[in-house]
């Protein structure tokens, strides 16, 4: 017998425990995000070997090290609209394949220009993969756990970075710098096979695009037996932006202010991250610390990303804009404090760790916030554009500290200025809160405006 009413996709997800099939989606997306972390850490480890083997100066290597950052921005900005049009899975599979092939090609590069081109292409693949992994994961989550699970998945980045650093330090002395890029190519190619065979398309995307009911039912019944006989499906969703496509939704009057504030917040977060991750060892060494000690203390900064799980839990229970805004305010305070405690080594180490934990936690929570902000038809574009435009913040952060050092600012003055973007990010999220008051549950009005198929 045909269903009297369409099955609400999100209601099914909300009414069932997170099942094995959804954990499969989580695991595959987790490994996709970890590829970005692996690449971010590993490329820094091959730089000394490149300088020695090819007889390069440090300035000559700078374009290669920054190529992936530009690629990440290009990949994110282009892949979001494509995913909203052609599907999350197709773009995710294609981008992971690009990562693998371009990384292997990078390992065979014989010139600096060749390495630059392949690193740029690798970055494009990474930039396209990460936002689609975030989007797809968020669309398989129960509403009550969406931020927690999405943030937990995003923890693949710091873990991938840690793994990349450890593996690079181990295999470069054995097989040379090219072995890091070979490993960074083989892993995505293997993952591509699993994505093709095991990763489902987003249920919400399939309903929004009015794909055949049997295709939707085939996936949904893996989560709920209730869907075995369903003949039509729906999803409760605000109508704002409906029919405009990805870019039209993100830039529509209903979402424009929130989009701008998300871009500003993510941009400012990466200004802080790359300013400190690239320059802290140098700044600490200039205060009189031994190079090995400076490097050890600096390594404490990126370790706190797993704190995003706590923020995800808080975001599912309170207004997520305020949760992350408070995180950025505390980040600014902690970074300012770094500039005041250099005389006491244990206190400096503790402050750097806390600053990193707060900064990475707040920054890692923004993709989940963006995923929950946009409707299905604009979600991939919204998340991807935030990540893509934010990458330019990383470039700006690297140049910021270089300019401050050129102007001969003191150690404490540099950290005071680097703390300011944290306050700007917090202010942007407060503006977003008032421009788009957060609603924890779907309103009665939005429930009546469902997409039926």
Among residues 176, 208, 235, the one where a domain terminates is: 235
Residue 188 has pLDDT above 70, yes or no: yes
- DSSP per-residue letters across 172-239: HHHH-THHHHHHHHHHHHHHHHHHHHHPPPPHHHHHHTT--HHHHHHHHTTT-GGGGG---EE-B---
Q: Which of 70, 48, 42, 74 has the alpha carbon at shortest distance from 61?
A: 48
**The predicted structure's pLDDT at residue 443:** 33
**Same domain, yes or no: 20 and 169:** yes
* DSSP H/E element including 7: strand 7-8
**Number of structural domains found in the chain:** 2
Name the residue among 249, 267, 154 with its Cα closest to residue 208.
249
Q: Is the pLDDT of residue 121 over 80?
A: yes
Q: Which domain holds residue 330?
A: 246-435
Domain boundary among 207, 235, 263: 235
**CA neighbours within 13 Å on the CB side: how many for 127?**
31
CATH number of the domain at 403, please.
1.20.1250.20
Are 205 and 278 members of one domain?
A: no
- List, for residues 288-346, the tens digit of each pLDDT value: 877 667 767 776 777 666 677 787 778 888 888 999 999 999 999 999 999 888 778 88
Q: Both tokens of residue 64?
A: 């290669």
Of the two residues 291 and 200, the one the predictor is more confident about is 200
Same domain, 218 and 146: yes
Based on the domain organization, do 104 and 52 belong to the same domain? yes
CA dihedral over 23, 28, 31, 35, signed as positive or negative: negative
Residue 450 pLDDT grade (very low, low, confident, very high; cuts 50, 70, 90): very low
Same domain, 191 and 42: yes
Encode pLDDT of 126-178 as tens digits: 888 988 888 888 888 888 888 788 878 888 887 787 777 678 778 888 898 89
Q: Alpha-carbon distance 362 to 356, whole Å?
A: 10
59 vs 207, more confident: 207
Residues 186 and 256 both lie in one domain: no
């Amino acid at each position: 017998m045909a269903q009297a009413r369409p099955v609400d996709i999100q209601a099914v997800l909300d009414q069932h425990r997170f099942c094995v099939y959804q954990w499969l989606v989580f695991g595959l997306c987790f490994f996709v995000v970890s590829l970005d972390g692996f690449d971010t850490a590993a490329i820094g480890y091959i730089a000394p070997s490149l300088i020695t083997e090819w007889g390069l100066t440090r300035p000559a290597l700078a374009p290669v090290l920054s190529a992936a950052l530009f690629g990440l921005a290009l990949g994110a900005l282009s892949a979001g609209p494509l995913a909203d049009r052609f599907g999350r899975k197709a773009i995710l599979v294609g981008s992971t394949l690009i990562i693998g092939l371009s990384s292997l090609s990078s390992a065979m590069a014989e010139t600096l220009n060749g390495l630059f081109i392949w690193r740029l292409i690798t970055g494009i693949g990474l930039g396209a993969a990460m936002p689609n992994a975030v989007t797809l994961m968020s669309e398989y989550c129960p509403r009550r756990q969406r931020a927690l699970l999405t943030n937990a998945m995003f923890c693949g980045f710091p873990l991938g970075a840690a793994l990349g650093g450890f593996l690079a330090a181990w295999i470069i002395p054995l097989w040379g710098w090219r072995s890091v890029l070979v490993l960074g190519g083989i892993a995505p190619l293997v993952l591509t096979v699993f994505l093709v065979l095991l990763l489902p398309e987003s249920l919400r995307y399939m309903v929004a695009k009015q794909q055949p009911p049997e295709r939707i039912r085939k996936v949904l019944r893996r989560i709920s037996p209730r869907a075995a006989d369903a003949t039509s499906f729906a999803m409760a969703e605000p109508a704002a932006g409906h029919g405009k496509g990805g870019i039209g939704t993100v830039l529509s009057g209903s979402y424009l202010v929130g989009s701008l504030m998300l871009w500003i917040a993510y941009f400012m977060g990466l200004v802080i991250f790359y300013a400190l991750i690239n320059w802290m060892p140098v700044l600490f060494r200039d205060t009189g610390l031994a190079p090995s000690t400076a490097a050890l203390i600096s390594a404490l900064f990126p370790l706190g990303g797993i704190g995003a799980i706590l923020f995800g839990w808080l975001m599912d229970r309170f207004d997520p804009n305020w949760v992350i805004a408070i995180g950025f305010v505390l980040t600014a305070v902690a970074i300012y404090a770094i500039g005041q405690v250099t005389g006491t080594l244990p206190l400096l180490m503790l402050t750097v760790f806390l600053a990193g934990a707060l900064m990475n936690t707040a920054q890692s929570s923004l993709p989940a916030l963006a995923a929950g902000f946009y409707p299905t038809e604009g979600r991939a574009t919204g998340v991807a554009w935030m990540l893509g435009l934010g990458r330019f913040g990383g470039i700006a952060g690297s140049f910021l500290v270089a300019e401050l050092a050129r102007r001969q600012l003191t150690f404490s003055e540099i950290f005071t200025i680097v703390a300011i973007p944290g306050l700007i990010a917090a202010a942007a999220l407060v503006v977003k809160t008032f421009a788009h008051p957060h609603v924890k549950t779907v309103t009665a009005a939005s429930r009546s405006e469902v997409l039926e198929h």
